[in-house]
Structure 1
Amino acid sequence: MFSGYFPESDKKEIVLNDMEPDCLKLILDYIYTGHLVVNHANVQNLLATASFLQIDWIEERCCDFIVKALDANNCLGVKKFGENHSLPRLEEYASEYVLKHFQEVTRSDEFLSIPFDEFHKILENPELYIYDEEALLRSIIKWIDHNPAERQQHLTQLVTKLHPACVSNKLVQSINMLHDDKDCRDWVDSVSQSIDKMQWNIFVLDKMGRQPDFGKYDMTTGNMIPLSPFPLEAFALSFASQKHFLYVQGGCVGRSRRTCFYYNVYKNKWFSMPSMKEQRSHHRSLILDSFLYAMGGNGSKVTHRSVECMDLETGTTMLVEPMLSPRSSMGAVVCEQSLYVMGGETDQKSLSSVEMFDPRVGIWQSMPRLNVVNSYCTSAVTDNYIYCCEGLGSSMERFDLRSREWEMIEFTSEREFFEIFSIGNDVYSISSEEIARYYPAGNRWENIFYYPFTREWDTALAVELVNESSVVF
Structure 2
Amino acid sequence: MSLSVSGLPKPGNVRNDVRHNWEVMQSVYKLYNEQKFTDILFEFPYTTYKFTAHRLILAAASPYFLELFDQTEDDCNSLTVTKMDSDTFEELVVYCYNGQTDITAGNAERMAKGAMLLRLYEVVDICVNYMMDHISDFLVRKLIPLAAELVYEKFETRLLAYIVKNFKEVNRNGEIFDLNMTQWKFILKELDVNVVTQAYIFLATKGWYEYNATERQQYLPDLIGSLTLTEFDNDFLRQQIKPLPGCEGLATESLKKRGELPSWVAVQNWGEDWLGYKDILIYNQAKVEWVKATRLEIKRYYFSTAFMGNSLYFIGGRSRDGVSKAVLSYNLLTKTFSTMPSLQDKRTAACVAVVNNSIYVFGGKADNSLTSVECYSTSTGRWEYKSGTPTPRAAAGVAILNADIYLIGGKDLRMLNRVDVYNVSTNRWYNCNPMAEARESPAVTVHQDLIYAMSGGFRDLKTVERYDPKQDKWTKIASLNVARRYICAASIGDQLWAFGGVIGPAQWDDTVEVYDEASDKWLVKKKLPVTGKFDCVTLPTNLADNLN
Q: TM-score of the superposition, structure 1-length normalised? A: 0.54
Q: Which residue of 194, 204, 217 corresponds with 2:267?
A: 204
Unaligned runs of 5+ in 1: 1-188
- The answer to whether the 8 Å contact 2:331/2:337 transfers is yes
Q: 2:370 aligns with which of 283, 294, 304?
A: 304
Preserved contact between residue 249 and residue 259 of structure 1 (Cα < 8 Å): yes
Instruction: Give the whole-Å Cα distance in 1 for the aligned partners of 2:533 and 2:301.
Output: 9
Instruction: Report the CA distance shift for 1:349/1:436 in structure 2 as closer, same or farther (over 3 A).
Output: same
Task: Give identity over the alignment, percent.
Answer: 17
- Whether the 8 Å CA contact 2:259–2:541 is kept in 1: the answer is no
2:220 corresponds in structure 1 to: none
| Distance in 1 of aligned mates of 2:253 and 2:441 | 43
Aligned to 2:403: 337
Say which of 417, 436, 440 aligns to 2:513.
436
- 1:426 matches 2:495: yes
Q: Which amino acid aligns with 1:445?
A: W
For 2:291, which of 224, 232, 257 is the aligned residue?
Answer: 224
What do the CA deviations read for 1:41-96 (whole angstroms, capped 9, x no partner)? xxxxxxxxxxxxxxxxxxxxxxxxxxxxxxxxxxxxxxxxxxxxxxxxxxxxxxxx
Paired residue total:
278
After superposition, the C-alpha distances for 1:187-214 in whole angstroms (9 at most, x for unaligned) are xx99993467635232332424244322
Tell me: CA distance 1:411–1:218, structure 2 relative to 1, closer, same or farther (3 Å).
Answer: closer
Partner of 1:251: 317
What secondary structure sits across from 2:463 in the alignment?
strand
CA distance in 1, matches of 2:319, 2:418: 29
**What is the aligned counterpart of 1:355 among 398, 411, 420?**
420
Q: Which has the higher contact order (CA 8 A, sep 6+)?
A: 1
Structure 1 residues 274-289: aligned runs within 5 Å: 274-289=341-356
Establish whether residue 214 from structure 1 lines up as the match of residue 270 from structure 2: no
User: For residue 394 of structure 1, what is the aligned residue in structure 2?
Assistant: 462
In 2, Cα distance between equivalents of 1:468 and 1:334: 22
CA distance in 2, matches of 1:412, 1:448: 12
AA of the residue aligned to 2:474: W
Distance in 2 (alpha carbons) for counterparts of 1:263 and 1:444: 38
| Aligned residue in 2 for 1:9 | none
Identify the residue that residue 124 of structure 1 maps to in structure 2: none
Distance apart, 1:234 and its partner CA: 1.6
Contact 1:239–1:248 (CA<8 Å) still a contact in 2?
yes
2:348 matched to 1:267? no
2:393 maps to 1:327:
yes
CA distance in 2, matches of 1:372, 1:456: 24
Find the aligned partners of 2:332 and 2:513 in 1 and give their Cα distance: 23
The equivalent of 2:483 in structure 1 is: 415
From the CA coordinates, give the structure whose radius of gyration is larger: 2
1:269-308 deviation per Cα after TM superposition (whole angstroms, max 9, x unaligned):
3322111110000111110111101110102x22100000
* CA distance in 1: counterparts of 2:438 and 2:478, whole angstroms: 12
Once the two structures are overlaid, the 10-residue window that deviates more, 210-219 or 402-411, is 210-219
Superposition RMSD in Å:
2.9
1:331 partner letter? G
Q: Which range moved further: 190-199 or 253-262?
A: 190-199
User: Is residue 452–residue 467 contact of structure 2 (8 Å, CA) maintained in 1?
Assistant: yes
Q: How does 1:46-445 map onto structure 2 within 5 Å?
A: 193-194=256-257, 198=261, 200-208=263-271, 209-220=274-285, 222=287, 224-229=291-296, 231-242=297-308, 244-253=310-319, 255-299=322-366, 301-346=367-412, 348-391=413-456, 392-411=460-479, 413-416=481-484, 418-431=487-500, 432-445=509-522
One-letter amino acid of the structure 2 residue matched with residue 428 of structure 1: W
Contact 2:292–2:529 (Cα < 8 Å) also in 1: no
The answer to whether the 8 A contact 1:399-1:405 is kept is yes
Deviation of residue 458 (structure 1)?
Answer: 3.1
Structure 1 counterpart of 2:225: none
**Within the alignment, does 1:446 sit opposite 2:512 as a pair?**
no
Q: Is the 8 A contact 1:235 1:251 kept in 2?
A: yes
1:2-51 residue CA offsets vs partner (Å, 9 max, x unmatched): xxxxxxxxxxxxxxxxxxxxxxxxxxxxxxxxxxxxxxxxxxxxxxxxxx
